Structure 1
Amino acid sequence: MTEEQPQLTPAAAVTLREITQDTLRSILRLKVKPEQEQFVANNAVSVAQAHFEPKAWFRAIYADETPVGFVMLYDDPDAPEYYLWRFMIDARYQHFGFGRRALEQLIAHVRARPNATELKLSYVPAEGGPEPFYAGLGFVNTGEVDDGENVMKLTL
């Protein structure tokens, strides 16, 4: 028996929701395109890491009632820099605008956090990488390299 893919349109409402015992399996099934796997850890690794890092804030990304992605933030309210640790949209749901709208919500969340002055992220500098997507949201390259990944920041 195969699971039927919901028919979503770009008009679907995008929300960030806590992952529960009931929704975990559907989040773990989300996958990027094979050629994107070099850019982000799978969601099982991310959820496991989040459970061992007290400053991890993580959510499922939903379009209407369908899980379409995952986002994780390093959330330290004592520091002015917040860090987008993980972000992915399932291959089936890319190019609907869900990722942009999810990150806009995440940026609004960070702006409301104590002491927040910037949101940083890093990406693998390779063909097909996410740099243009992040730049379209206002992130700029800092010139820093962290563990082989280029660092970008958004001034809040």
Structure 2
Amino acid sequence: MTKEAEKKPGRDAAVSLREITKETLRPFLNMKVSKPQEEMVANNAVSIAQAHFEEKAWFRGIYADETPVGFIMLFDDPEEPVYFLWRLMVAEEFQGMGYGRKAVDHLVEYVKTRPDAKELLVSHVKELPGNPGPFYEKLGFEYTGKEDHGELVMRLPLR
């Protein structure tokens, strides 16, 4: 087994959400999704830049054990209150390992601690093949019947 293969986390890896700092930034900027997914999720560099200009953005790196594997961002507005899963990306080589599901589970736990949090919202483009709708449905999200900028809105009730 090569050293690189030894380093790659497995399905049983502990998933955590961690602050991205100037020391940990580079791996997140270099992450890629598959070609078809590029139309569905913004590049992490764009997301991180947007987050720095939106005071209601809360973002974290997704780690599997000690390996950076993805990115998650929340629109966090306790004054409204609105909690919206703004971005979720898992790098192509780490997809299918359950890391995205575990990251959303951690995000849900975080949102439950926010003032008056009753639901977590997310949206996706409906026309694109391979859209994440079925993934979100497996996590308990339901379609609301609403659209936001041409995207279908889903909600996860927080009980």
Q: Take 1:7 and 1:114, find their aligned partners in 2: how far apart are those partners?
A: 37
Q: Take 1:80 and 1:140, find their aligned partners in 2: how far apart are those partners?
A: 19
Q: Take 2:108 and 2:33, find their aligned partners in 1: how far apart are those partners?
A: 22
Shift of 1:112: 1.1
Shift of 1:42: 0.3
Query: Within 5 A, what are the aligned runs for 1:95-106?
Result: 95-106=96-107
Give the partner amino acid of 1:150: L
After superposing on structure 2, the runs of 4+ consecutive aligned residues of structure 1 that deviate more than 3 Å are none
Q: Take 2:70 and 2:125, find their aligned partners in 1: how far apart are those partners?
A: 19
Superposed CA deviations along residues 84-134 of structure 1, whole A, max 9, x for unmatched, are 111100000001001100100001100111110111111011211100100
Shift of 1:81: 2.5
Residue in 2 aligned with 1:141? Answer: 143
Residue in 1 aligned with 2:67? Answer: 66
Shift of 1:8: 1.5
1:107 aligns with 2:113: no
Aligned residues: percent identity? 57
Residue in 2 aligned with 1:132? Answer: 134
Shift of 1:7: 2.0
Residue in 1 aligned with 2:54? Answer: 53
Q: Take 2:55 and 2:13, find their aligned partners in 1: how far apart are those partners?
A: 32
Q: Take 2:36 and 2:9, find their aligned partners in 1: how far apart are those partners?
A: 23
CA contact (8 A) 1:139 1:154 kept: yes
Aligned residue pairs: how many? 153
CA contact (8 A) 1:80 1:118 kept: no
Residue in 1 aligned with 2:120? Answer: 119
1:155 aligns with 2:157: yes
TM-score (norm 1): 0.95
Residue in 2 aligned with 1:75? Answer: 76
CA contact (8 A) 1:79 1:116 kept: no
Shift of 1:79: 2.1
User: Structure 2: any 5+ residue segments left out of the alignment?
Assistant: none
Q: Take 1:136 and 1:65, find their aligned partners in 2: how far apart are those partners?
A: 27
Q: Secondary structure in 1 aligned to 2:27?
A: helix
User: Structure 1: any 5+ residue segments left out of the alignment?
Assistant: none
Q: Secondary structure in 2 aligned to 1:75?
A: strand
Shift of 1:68: 0.3
TM-score (norm 2): 0.93
CA contact (8 A) 2:90 2:100 kept: yes
